[in-house]
Chains A and B, each alone.
Chain A
Amino acid sequence: MWRLWRPDAVRALEDPKVVSSMPRYIGILKGKLLPKFVISRQVQVEWGSDSSEDELWDIHDASLRKMEKLMRDLDSGRIHPDELGDPPKKSLLHLKARIGESIMRSCRLCERRCGADRLKGELGFCRVGREFRVHSCFDHLGEEPEVVPSFTVYGSRVRPN
């Protein structure tokens, strides 16, 4: 159906201006390349349950370099996706999720750096708490031609009193 509404979106993936600015994205859509998170999920990482956030960041940065090397190898065809085994139990993506949770104890995700302890239920400027609240999600047809149809998830926040 979207093809009728947005014929420009059908053509977009062949548009030289799109191809030159997002070749990797197009490669993923054509099934030739993997999204980055899938590659991060393949990089095995170990950390201790008592590691400090600084230690976790050190492990993160070293693993990220491994991930980027693996991505270059996959993108260039030196490694075939079939050669990747099952994803490990603890990966770079797991570590990112672990650090993300840790940051919520003193939130500094945005540059307001408000420091709210979201895990204890404190709310900062954005009022996004400890749980993922979703306002709505739908197949968005109103974005740039190369982007649509785009499954759009509107994150929400806790209602003000």
Chain B
Amino acid sequence: MCPASRYTDLESGRISLGCNFACIHCQNWEISQQFAEGTVCGEREIAALIDEARRRGCRNQNWVGGDPIPHIPFWLKVLLWETENTPVFFNTNGFYSTEASSLLRGVVDIYKIDFKYGSDICAEKISGVSGYWKVITRNLKAAKKQGELLIRVLVLPRHLECCLIPIVSFISRELGPETRVNLMDQYSPHWRAAELPELKKRLDPDEWEKAVKIALEAGLRNVIT
């Protein structure tokens, strides 16, 4: 699941908070409801925290948001100040532009991309984005070329046919069966998920079993379950 997208429906409609998506099942809405803005931080200050973290044994710097995409310009400045060799783990929903992709090239060591939807209709309905499939598949292919790739797939209830099947088929066919995929069963109906009938409940065990079978039948050989 998207690590920390935050949105709320102040007054009317969806307002994203630090994320370019507005997922109806956002797991981090509670944080957003506190209306915390966070603290304005200097790049040098964050760089020092990251250096310290590396020295105490953290393996990487994990850029999250919301989504880290709108924060890229800040991150590039943070890196100018870092002194330790801390790999960059870019923890994103993958809905970024080709310009952003060029800036990330030569910077990001691991692209961790959520592959959420197999259809633009589902992406629009659940996360409020249009043109999802074209963008996500373009960026996944580029990420594989320009870095190392880890894909997260959160299995959504009743989205096996429309989403999971196209997702795992694409990964197997276009990115290779050896692609490392974290298939996740922990969907939980946070936030306004109950507004969509199929997202009211958690995944049932039969559906999870079927999801694993679908992933393996697509040929994937490096699946974390």
Contacts and interface: CB of A to CB of B under 8 A. Distances in A.
A121 B47 CA distance: 25
B88 A36 contact: yes
A47 interface: no
A68 B102 CA distance: 13
B74 A132 contact: yes
Interface in A20-77: 20-25, 28-29, 31, 34-41, 57, 60-61, 64, 67-68, 71
Nearest to B39: A134
Contacts of A92: 106
Interface string A102-138: 0110011111110000000000111110011111110
A140 B111 CA distance: 17
Interface string B98-135: 01101101111110100000000000000001010001
Interface stretch (B13-21, B166-174, B199-207): B13-21
11 contacts: A28-B85, A35-B85, A40-B106, A108-B97, A126-B66, A133-B18, A135-B4, A147-B110, A150-B61, A153-B50, A154-B3
Interface string B69-83: 111111011111010
Contacts of A93: 76, 79-80, 107
A84 interface: no
B38 A135 contact: yes
A156 B74 CA distance: 12
Given A21-B178, A111-B95, A132-B74, A153 B106 contact: no
A133 B131 contact: no
A151 B58 contact: yes
A142 to B, nearest CB: 10
A113 to B, nearest CB: 6
Given A126-B16, A153-B64, A29 B103 contact: no
Contacts of B103: 96, 99-100, 103
A35 B86 contact: yes
A154 B38 CA distance: 9
Interface of B: 3-4, 6, 8, 10, 15-20, 31, 35-43, 46, 49-50, 53-54, 56-74, 76-80, 82, 85-89, 91, 95-97, 99-100, 102-103, 105-110, 112, 129, 131, 135, 147-150, 178-180, 182, 222, 224
Contacts of A155: 18, 38, 63-66, 68, 70-71, 74
Main DSSP-derived SS at the B contact region: mixed
B51 to A, nearest CB: 10
Interface size on A, as a range, is 35 or more
A101 interface: yes
A59 to B, nearest CB: 12
B106 A126 contact: no
Given A109-B96, A140-B62, A149-B57, A156 B36 contact: yes
A103 B109 CA distance: 22
Nearest to A135: B38
Most B CB contacts (10 A, CB to CB) among A36, A60, A136, A151 go to A151
Nearest to B60: A150
B67 A110 contact: yes
A160 interface: yes
A159 B33 CA distance: 10
Contacts of A37: 79, 82, 88, 106-107
